[in-house]
Amino acid sequence: MANEVEMADIRGMDLVYERPHTLTEARLHYCPGCGHGVVHRVLMEVINELGIQGETIGVAPVGCSVFAYHYMDIDMQEAAHGRASAVATAIKRLLPTKYVFSYQGDGDLAAIGTAETIHTANRGENILVVFINNAIYGMTGGQMAPTTLLGMKTSTTPVGRTVDVAGYPLKIADLVAILPGTYYVARHAVHTPNAVRQLKKAVTKSFQHQKEGKGTCFIEVISNCPSGWKMTPLEANKWMEENMFPVFPLGDLKAAK
């Protein structure tokens, strides 16, 4: 293909940005504008830069990122819905010198898998939990998530989420931050280049903490869902800043000591 020839021709000083070899060449199935692809790339860039591709095992969730292992060129396990942190717990216990992370969405981590999430963090398992919060169930077609904002319309909250019917958006990162088992809990986003750089720093730090056996590192990434929110990617990012960030403010919830 012409495109591949052009890419192959870029050499030397002309090459300023490339796919880390820890990402496979599979084409992402994510919707245009979705944050998953960026988070995948950040994770794989860090694993590449730390030189730990051969020592890292990832656990994929059920949800939009169910095929994460198509893109990440590392050993991976596909967990049952909500159980990624339990699966990751066992891998890490049996292979304590390896790096282990789970990658989970809001339904997986904060609804069906809440017990596993809390108890993994409470045991202080030496893993990294990456939590993508876009406040909606993307894969199943836009139903309410535990993190759906009040007033937010989804296919199962057609007039907007109300407290009397569906309670409040669950701030699970705040919950795990108070547990002594967690060492580092932070909330990030990937809607601007600067935000991506901040996330990358957090992921790098988390793997370093894991190497030192500090405890559970938990990174929430506030992400958009243009398809589920029925917006263009630009509208979605703007809506996210204006509506998601006030409820889920970015920054360290528990700074590493």
Partner 1 sequence: MSDIRLMKGNEALAEAAIRAGCQAYFGYPITPQSEILEYLADEGRKRGMIVLQAESEVASINMVYGGAGAGARVMTSSSSPGISLMQEGLSYIACAELPCLVVNVNRGGPGLGTIQPSQGDYFQATKGGGHGDYRLIVLAPASVQEMADFVFDAFDLADQYRNPVMILADGALGQMMEKVQFKEYDPKDHIPDKPWATVGKPATRPRNIITSLHIQPEKMEQINLRLQQKYATICEREVRCEKVSTDDAEYLVVAYGLAARIAHRAVELARAEGIRAGLLRPITLYPFPYVPIRSLAETVRGVLVVEMNSGQMVEDVRLAVEGRTPVQFYGRMGGIIPSPDEVMHALGGLVNQAVEQQVEE
Instruction: Give the interface with partner 1 as residue ranges (CB under 8 A).
Output: 53-57, 59-60, 66-67, 69, 72-80, 83, 86-91, 93-95, 98, 115-116, 118-119
Task: Give the nearest distance from C-beta 112 to partner 1 in angstroms.
Answer: 10
Task: Give the nearest distance from C-beta 23 to partner 1 in angstroms.
Answer: 12
Task: Give the nearest distance from C-beta 134 to partner 1 in angstroms.
Answer: 21
Task: Give the nearest distance from C-beta 24 to partner 1 in angstroms.
Answer: 8
Of 115, 162, 105, give the one whose Cα is nearest residue 137. 105
Calpha distance 255→183 (Å, rounded): 8
Closer to partner 1 by Cβ: residue 12 or 54: 54
Three-state DSSP at 102 gives strand
Closer to partner 1 by Cβ: residue 76 or 144: 76
Task: Give the nearest distance from C-beta 123 to partner 1 in angstroms.
Answer: 8
Distances (CA, A) of 126 to 12, 134, 233: 40, 26, 35
The DSSP secondary-structure symbol of 34 reads -
CB 37 within 8 A of CB 79: no
CB 112 within 8 A of CB 124: no
The alpha-helical segments, DSSP class H, found in 72-218 are 84-94, 106-107, 114-123, 163-166, 172-177, 193-211
Task: Give the nearest distance from C-beta 214 to partner 1 in angstroms.
Answer: 19
Closer to partner 1 by Cβ: residue 45 or 73: 73
Closer to partner 1 by Cβ: residue 68 or 190: 68
CB 29 within 8 A of CB 64: no
- The residue behind tokens 């243009």 is 226
Closer to partner 1 by Cβ: residue 128 or 189: 128
Calpha distance 54→150 (Å, rounded): 43
Closer to partner 1 by Cβ: residue 85 or 223: 85
